[in-house]
Amino acid sequence: MESLGLDESEIFNAYHEVQSIRDKDEFLIPFIDAIMDPHFKTGTMEADQTLLKSLIVFACLMEGLFFYVGFTQILALGRQNKMTGAAEQYQYILRDESMHCNFGIDLINQIKLENPHLWTAEFKAEIKALFQKAVDLEYRYAEDTMPRGVLGLNASMFKGYLRYIANRRATQIGLEALFPNEENPFPWMSEMIDLKKERNFFETRVIEYQSGGALSWD
Q: Is 183 left (phi over 0), alpha (psi -120 to 50) or beta?
A: beta
* Side chain identity, residue 162: L
What is the C-alpha R_g of the chain?
A: 20
**pLDDT surpassing 60 at residue 209:** no
Mean pLDDT of all residues belonging to the chain:
85
**pLDDT surpassing 70 at residue 212:** no
Alpha helices, DSSP H only, in the chain? 8-12, 14-17, 19-36, 45-56, 68-79, 84-114, 121-145, 155-172, 189-192
Q: Which pLDDT band holds residue 118 (cuts at 50, 70, 90)?
A: very high
Q: Which pLDDT band holds residue 218 (cuts at 50, 70, 90)?
A: low
% of the chain surpassing 70 pLDDT: 87
Sign of the alpha-carbon torsion through 206, 212, 214, 216: positive
Q: Which pLDDT band holds residue 191 (cuts at 50, 70, 90)?
A: low
Q: What is the CA angle 115-25-89, rounded to 5? A: 95
pLDDT at position 146, please?
A: 84
**pLDDT surpassing 60 at residue 193:** no
Phi, psi dihedrals of residue 189, rounded to the nearest 5°: -65, -30
**pLDDT surpassing 60 at residue 125:** yes
* Separation between Cα atoms, residue 123 and residue 129, nearest integer Å: 10
* Separation between Cα atoms, residue 14 and residue 25, nearest integer Å: 12
Q: Is 181 helix (H, G, I), strand (E, B) or coil?
A: coil
**Which of these, 145, 146, 152, 133, lies nearest to 65 by C-alpha position?**
133
**pLDDT surpassing 50 at residue 13:** yes
Domains of the chain from N-terminus onward: 8-214 (1.10.620.20)
First to last CA, the chain: 29
Q: What is the CA angle 137-25-34, rounded to 5? A: 115
**pLDDT surpassing 80 at residue 199:** no
pLDDT at position 206, please?
A: 47
**pLDDT surpassing 90 at residue 120:** yes
**pLDDT surpassing 80 at residue 36:** yes
**pLDDT surpassing 50 at residue 195:** no
119 with 175: CB under 8 angstroms?
no
48 with 42: CB under 8 angstroms?
yes
* Separation between Cα atoms, residue 56 and residue 52, nearest integer Å: 6
pTM: predicted TM-score of the whole model, two decimal places: 0.82
pLDDT at position 76, please?
A: 87
Residues near 201 by Cβ (< 8 Å), separated by ≥ 6?
Answer: 91, 92, 95
pLDDT at position 198, please?
A: 44
* Separation between Cα atoms, residue 108 and residue 26, nearest integer Å: 23
**pLDDT surpassing 70 at residue 41:** yes
% of the chain surpassing 90 pLDDT: 50
Query: pLDDT tens, 83-95?
Result: 888 888 888 888 8
